[in-house]
Amino acid sequence: MKIHSLLHSSLLVEDLARARAFYEGVLGLEPSPLRPAMNFDGVWYAFGPQQIHLICLPSPEKGLLRPEHGGRDRHLALGVDSIGELECRLDAAGIRCTRSQSGRAALFCRDPDDNALEFVEIAASVG
């Protein structure tokens, strides 16, 4: 047996409209029409073969103190073509972000439900 790939990651959100405003309005993701409706609220985002599934459920960790820097917390890492452009979008939306402490071209933020996200700048492929 061999694991071949990560297919999707699920994140809990308490206010789906607020989460969608962040994931769609700030990050620019579009809901995937390919996923069936579930018996609970949520939304799927697809990019390439990977997906993010936002599940609208109360957080079992509400009130838990999270590390200030998302790199020291469990997080989802996403490749982007420009962390500079993303940093401007986050700043304009009033979302606090921090650069990677390693010096890599990466930054961290938290979504409105305190889920930590890492964005790593990936050079565009030539050709």
d(CA 79, CA 31): 18
Check if the beta carbon of residue 53 is closer than 8 Å to that of residue 75. Answer: no
Element (H, E) at 92: helix 83-92
Structure tokens at 110: 């938290």
Name all domains of the chain by residue range, CATH numbers in brackets. Answer: 8-58+66-121 (3.10.180.10)
Amino acid at 44: W
Please state the pTM of the whole predicted model: 0.88
Whether residue 31 contacts residue 54, with contact meaning beta carbons closer than 8 Å, is answered with no
DSSP string, 26-83: IT---B-TTSPP-SS-EEEEEETTEEEEEEE---TTTTPPPPSSGGGS-EEEEEES-H
pLDDT at 11: 96
| 41-67 pLDDT per residue, tens | 999 999 888 999 999 998 888 887 887
Distance, in Å, from the CA atom of 23 to the CA atom of 16, rounded to the nearest integer, reads: 10
103/84: higher pLDDT = 84
Give the angle 42-23-16 at the CA atoms, nearest 5°: 35
Q: Give the tens place of pLDDT for each residue, 109-123.
A: 999 999 999 999 997
User: Over 50: is that where the pLDDT of 127 sits?
Assistant: no
Contact 83, 93 (CB under 8 A): no
